[in-house]
Amino acid sequence: MNDGWRRLKNAGYRTRLYRYALERRHIEQLDFLPQDPWPGDPSVADALFRGQYRFAGREANAPNQPPWRLRPDDHEWLAELHGFEWLRHFGESGGETALAYARRLVRSWIDLCRDVDPITWSPGVLGQRITAWLGQGRFLLQGADTEFADAFLGSLTAQWLHLHRTAGDARFGAEQLSALLGLVYGAMALPGEDGAAIKGLRQIESLLENQTMKDGGYNSRAPSDLMAVLRRLIALRGAVGDSGRPVPDWLHTAIGRMAPLLQGLRHGDGGLALFNGGFEENPDSVETTLVRAGVKGKALLSATQSGFQRMTAGSAVLLTDTGAPPAGEWGRYAHAGGGGFELSIGKRRLIVNCGSGRQRSAEWREAARATAAHSTLQFNNANAWPIISDGSFGPNPTRLHCRRHEDEVGNTWLELHHDGYRQRFGATHRRRLYLDASGGDVRGEDRLDASGPPGPDMETAERSVAVRFHLHPDVQASAVQGGSAVLLRLGGGQGWRFRAGGAEIAMAESVYLGRSGRIRRSQQIVLSATFRPDGNVIKWAFRQV
């Protein structure tokens, strides 16, 4: 939809005639109220009660007044506020005070935000709000007076009717799923909308076919996004079953594929790997998601379509991004970190990627997406996959190839290579990663081979080669043996020694963006060399002391 037509439609939605069309339908009660399966956090409800509204990693304060007029130019913040998923925190708190304040916020929204707004009434936000209101409907409506109940039902019906007309306008990606879920939940709840519920479920099935991979991966390739989609499907499965409708086979299948992959992307601390803009996430939330998925079986070790590999031995977990960035629209938030790995020992993270630039400034987003923000090789201070002007990696990013080997005693290694540097610099990056059966020996080899004629950027290239290992902020690092090795001490006191050959070892500053809203200082080990016409071979090893 072009911008002119979108503006014209939005203007029409704000007319009195359209508002009358939305509000002319009246219902006395809902046919069904789903149960929100996800626990809330009473401490978040307490903060909201004090007027502390923290969304999208940013906080605004509005004590003793509704928050709907705060941060008018912050679209991400507004979307999360008006999506109302935070209602579950009041439901978890329970009690008359929490109920009264939750009703007060909902009623103030009904009174102050009834005009169709391009952001807060957009299909994705609208779908989230309908889903959240219905998920907390039992909490909000139990014992409610007639005035609140009538206002709640009237607004809910009007919102669903508008979503029914506009769901097809949802922005690409996760917002499309949010819109369709709101349609389905609303259709199950409103009288006489069984046909819309059936149609909406079919649309979700079709959408998942386009947004997921055969091994359960989500097209954005961010573990956080995978978890978010899985949680929504688990909740949908429960709601459809509770409504007395048969749960579609495709829904069981999708959950059955996603859960083992999510399990495979966990570190020893229970949180998730930091690939492609994902966050650690709360380990308890990850565990609850997997338990409620109800999928038996082990973590997926080799996700070839999604592009992830999991290697485990002893207390070590080594997770590697073995895929290229997604193409087109999906690549606008993905990272140029292919071949990057993360290593945790027990519940302590040792090697990480810098994390996510989401919910931060444009400068942070750009920096977090760069190859230099990942534990992999970088050539000439360039991204392994160039990011084009619209923020994507183009329609056909260079593939990354991976082979996995395991022997009979439990040693595992990966062989990776990609030609992301070939067109510009005439070079190919090859990486070998090895984890021995004890989990106390992690080795690697990074090769940069001249694989073709020098590219157009080679004449002005610095010809620098850098292999980076970003350390978790809780890791203490100190150079030893005259700088020829680095001694690493994890938060629990366990020691590891790092050595390398074929490059100079140095320590440098880094940052850690693994948790929403928080930036922590950290360090990185950098192996530096100058590109050789006959290629570079850099070998390195982490061994437990």
At 35-44, the pLDDT tens digits run: 999 999 999 9
Q: What is the pLDDT of residue 5?
A: 67
Encoded amino acid at 457, one letter: D
- Alpha-carbon gap, residue 544 to 487, rounded angstroms: 10
Confidence tier at 10 by pLDDT (50, 70, 90): confident
DSSP secondary structure of 41-73: -HHHHHHHHTTEEEETTEEEE-TTS-STTS-TT
Q: What is the DSSP letter of 420?
A: T
More confident residue, 518 or 77: 77
What are 83-95's pLDDT values in tens digits?
A: 999 999 999 998 9
- Alpha-carbon gap, residue 119 to 125, rounded angstroms: 8
User: Which range has the top average pLDDT, 3-7, 11-15, 126-130, 455-459?
Assistant: 126-130
Confidence tier at 212 by pLDDT (50, 70, 90): very high
Confidence tier at 454 by pLDDT (50, 70, 90): confident
- Alpha-carbon gap, residue 513 to 357, rounded angstroms: 7
Measured CA distances, 285 to 36, 37, 290 (Å)? 14, 12, 9
pLDDT at 353 over 70: yes
Among 10-14, 259-263, 419-423, 435-439, the least confident range? 10-14
Confidence tier at 372 by pLDDT (50, 70, 90): very high
Tokens encoding 521: 């200082």
Confidence tier at 4 by pLDDT (50, 70, 90): low
- Alpha-carbon gap, residue 385 to 362, rounded angstroms: 19
The answer to the question of residue 387 being in a domain is yes
Q: What is the residue range of 157's domain?
A: 31-169
Q: Which of 142, 169, 196 is the last residue of a domain?
A: 169
pLDDT at 57 over 80: yes
Q: Please check whether residue 67 is in contact with residue 53, taking contact to mean a CB–CB distance below 8 angstroms.
A: yes
Instruction: Give the residue from 268, 266, 261, 467 showing the smallest Cα distance to 350.
Output: 268
What are 105-117's pLDDT values in tens digits?
A: 999 999 999 999 9
- Alpha-carbon gap, residue 435 to 456, rounded angstroms: 38
What are 131-142's pLDDT values in tens digits?
A: 999 999 999 999
Question: Residue 526 forms beta bridges with which residues?
Answer: 468, 506
pLDDT at 460 over 70: no
In three-state secondary structure terms, 276 is coil
Q: What is the pLDDT of residue 306?
A: 97
3-state secondary structure 421-487: CHHHHCEEEEEEEEECCCCCEEEEEEEEEECCCCCCCCCCCCCEEEEEEEECCCCEEEEEHHHCEEE
Confidence tier at 64 by pLDDT (50, 70, 90): confident
In three-state secondary structure terms, 137 is helix
- Alpha-carbon gap, residue 352 to 472, rounded angstroms: 6
- Alpha-carbon gap, residue 35 to 128, rounded angstroms: 15
Handedness of CA 216, 218, 221, 225 (dihedral sign): negative
* Average pLDDT over all residues of the chain: 94
The answer to the question of residue 528 being in a domain is yes
- Alpha-carbon gap, residue 316 to 47, rounded angstroms: 38
- Alpha-carbon gap, residue 473 to 490, rounded angstroms: 10
Q: Please check whether residue 224 is in contact with residue 265, taking contact to mean a CB–CB distance below 8 angstroms.
A: no
In three-state secondary structure terms, 415 is strand
The answer to the question of residue 268 being in a domain is no
pLDDT at 461 over 90: no
The answer to the question of residue 471 being in a domain is yes
The answer to the question of residue 365 being in a domain is yes
Percent of residues, the chain, with pLDDT higher than 70: 97
- Alpha-carbon gap, residue 545 to 159, rounded angstroms: 61
Tokens encoding 114: 């009834």
Phi-psi label, residue 503: left if phi above 0, alpha if psi -120 to 50, beta otherwise: beta
Percent of residues, the chain, with pLDDT higher than 90: 86
The answer to the question of residue 215 being in a domain is no
Q: Do residues 163 and 312 both lie within one domain?
A: no
Handedness of CA 155, 156, 157, 163 (dihedral sign): positive
Q: What is the pLDDT of residue 270?
A: 98
Confidence tier at 288 by pLDDT (50, 70, 90): very high
Confidence tier at 21 by pLDDT (50, 70, 90): confident
Q: Which H/E stretch holds residue 321? A: strand 316-321
Confidence tier at 455 by pLDDT (50, 70, 90): low
- Alpha-carbon gap, residue 485 to 440, rounded angstroms: 17
Q: Which of 169, 192, 221 is the last residue of a domain?
A: 169
Q: Please check whether residue 226 is in contact with residue 261, taking contact to mean a CB–CB distance below 8 angstroms.
A: yes
- Alpha-carbon gap, residue 328 to 306, rounded angstroms: 16
pLDDT at 468 over 60: yes
Which runs of consecutive H residues, i.e. helices, occur in 314-433?
362-369, 422-425
Q: What is the pLDDT of residue 482?
A: 82
32 contacts: CB under 8 Å, gap ≥ 6: 188, 189, 242, 243
Q: What is the pLDDT of residue 112?
A: 96
96 contacts: CB under 8 Å, gap ≥ 6: none
* Domains in the chain, number: 2
Confidence tier at 459 by pLDDT (50, 70, 90): low
3-state secondary structure 249-274: HHHHHHHHHHHHHHHHCECCCCCECC
Identify the CATH number of the domain in which residue 373 sits: 2.70.98.70
The pairing of beta strand 485-489 with beta strand 400-406: unpaired
Q: Which of 130, 152, 169 is the last residue of a domain?
A: 169
- Alpha-carbon gap, residue 44 to 30, rounded angstroms: 29
The answer to the question of residue 328 being in a domain is yes
The answer to the question of residue 158 being in a domain is yes
pLDDT at 2 over 70: no
Q: What is the pLDDT of residue 470?
A: 98
What are 487-499's pLDDT values in tens digits?
A: 999 988 899 999 9
- Alpha-carbon gap, residue 13 to 121, rounded angstroms: 10
Instruction: Give the residue from 164, 186, 170, 78 showing the smallest Cα distance to 124.
Output: 170
Among 197-206, 499-508, 512-521, the least confident range? 512-521
